[in-house]
């Protein structure tokens, strides 16, 4: 029996990014909330940059409300906030988003949902970004269910910046520094 050559997925993520309005800017002039920048790198198991990955984020507004039909408070969501964005990694595997710090709700710490797509991955990886300066992290059920030695892989840390408050969140797709990923359901 003859075998087919192996193939990987991608690198075609640039095709999925719509040009014109940047998809990594979730805010408008009238968006409510504290504007922040999230930046980081997508890295492989050896700590090398992945220069053709795509990072998607989905988050609630400053009041913790998702502009989505499954959120019972959707009618109260900030109409000037997109809540969803995409960024490609290019030079050195770096990505960046301009967004707002999300609000927490229902005893949860503020967090941002993250999907990572990369060559060789048949299914995207799902994780979360929590913020190092949030006191609610201490009582968040999901964050505290993560092994203490790995919890730091979900925490974005403040970084010096000349413009917006900036948080650094590196994503390690495998290896001994692997980011905690969740099973999509």
Q: Is residue 99 part of a domain?
A: yes
164 vs 18: which has the higher pLDDT: 164
Collapsing DSSP to helix, strand or coil, 42 comes out as strand
Q: Is residue 6 part of a domain?
A: no
Give me 49's structure tokens: 């940059």
Question: Does residue 185 carry a pLDDT above 90?
Answer: no
CA distance 81 to 16: 21
CB–CB of 40/27 below 8 Å?
no
Instruction: Report the 10 Å Cβ neighbour count for 97.
Output: 27
Residue 86: asked if its preceding bond is cis (omega within 30°), the reply is no
Q: Is residue 87 part of a domain?
A: yes
- Cβ-in-10-Å burial (0-12, 13-18, 19+) of 51 comes to middle
DSSP-assigned letter for residue 175: S
pLDDT at residue 20 in the model: 57
Q: Is residue 62 part of a domain?
A: yes
Q: Is residue 181 part of a domain?
A: no
Collapsing DSSP to helix, strand or coil, 74 comes out as helix
Q: Is the dihedral of CA 18, 165, 59, 125 positive or negative?
A: positive
Mean predicted confidence (pLDDT) in 63-86: 95
134-173 confidence digits (pLDDT tens): 999 999 999 999 999 999 999 999 999 889 999 999 999 9
Q: Residue 149 is part of which domain span? A: 13-172
Identify the CA nearest to 156 among candidates 145, 146, 166: 166
119 vs 118: which has the higher pLDDT: 118
Q: Is residue 177 part of a domain?
A: no
Structural domain count of the chain: 1
The radius of gyration of the chain's CA atoms, rounded to the nearest angstrom, is 17
Q: Is residue 2 part of a domain?
A: no
Share the mean pLDDT of the chain.
88
> Which CATH number covers residue 105?
2.60.130.10
pLDDT at residue 15 in the model: 53
Q: Is residue 178 part of a domain?
A: no
């Amino acid at each position: 029996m003859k075998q087919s050559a192996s193939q990987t997925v991608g690198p075609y993520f640039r095709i999925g990014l719509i040009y014109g309005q940047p998809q990594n800017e979730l805010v408008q002039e009238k968006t409510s909330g504290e504007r922040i920048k999230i930046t980081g790198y997508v890295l492989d198991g050896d700590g090398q940059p992945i220069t053709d990955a795509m990072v998607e984020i989905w988050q609630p507004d400053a009041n913790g409300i998702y502009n989505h039909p499954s959120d019972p408070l959707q009618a109260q969501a900030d109409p000037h906030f997109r809540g969803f964005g995409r960024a490609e990694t290019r030079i050195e595997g770096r990505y960046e988003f301009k967004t707002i710090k999300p609000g927490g709700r229902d005893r949860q710490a503020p967090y941002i949902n993250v999907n990572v797509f990369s060559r060789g991955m048949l299914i995207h990886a799902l994780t979360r970004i929590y913020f190092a300066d949030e006191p609610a992290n201490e009582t968040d059920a999901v964050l505290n269910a993560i092994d203490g030695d790995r919890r730091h892989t979900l925490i974005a840390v403040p970084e010096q910046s000349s413009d917006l408050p900036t948080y650094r969140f590196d994503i390690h797709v495998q290896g001994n520094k692997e980011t905690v990923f969740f099973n999509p359901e």
